[in-house]
Amino acid sequence: MFKTDKQTSSTSQKIRKMTKTRLQNIALYYLERFDSSSANLCQVLKRRVFDYARQVPDFNIAEAESWIEEIIARFENLGYLNDKRYAEFKIDNYLLSGKPERYIRQKMQQKGINGKIIDDILSNREFDEEAMALRFAAKKRIGPYRTDESARRENRQKDLAAIVRAGFSYDTAQKIIGAENIDDFA
């Protein structure tokens, strides 16, 4: 049995036209679910525009990019987007979870946060890399938190690499892994 045009069109997904209003609704829906920086929201919207443009070749991308700029500016004026507030929230969460400064800076730069904002926030926060590395080791049960001494010796390089990959300095990682027990840090 052959399918009619009406039957085949109902099974394929219809492409909704990209307009400024639709793009604004996409941005609002995104902000309902996630906190975001201006640059991150801009990337999200551009990705949606480029996906649409691949499906509709005669779509004017330049016009859509101007819509994105207007939407971002409007949302900043309304207070929906505030890079400083976003960065403070994210940095505080990273610090509470024991993330090192290098990791935090990299994540904030990926989200498009200005370096000056990052510096201002981090300068106002207490930051003890050794304590954070120790918290990381406890969470992963590596270094002085391994109960078996032979496992500690066998996994020394692996544990050291894990702490360095997490963003802590090599010196701090050596100090944590080289500790005989956690009482050395009290």
pLDDT in tens, 170-184: 999 999 888 877 776
pLDDT averages per 10-residue partition of the chain, 186 residues: 49 80 97 95 96 92 96 96 95 86 92 94 86 87 85 89 90 87 66
pLDDT in tens, 17-49: 999 999 999 999 999 999 999 999 999 999 999
Going from N- to C-terminal start, the domains of the chain cover: 17-78, 83-123, 129-185
2 sits in the region (left: phi over 0; alpha: psi -120 to 50; else beta) called beta
Tokens representing residue 75 in the block: 């949302």
Answer whether 130's CB lies under 8 Å from 171's CB. Answer: no
User: Could you give the residue ranges of the DSSP H alpha helices within 113-169?
Assistant: 115-123, 129-140, 149-154, 156-165
Sequence-distant (6+) residues with CB within 8 A of 86 are 35, 36, 37, 111, 113
- Single pTM value for the model: 0.73
- Alpha carbon distance 16, 35 (integer Å): 26
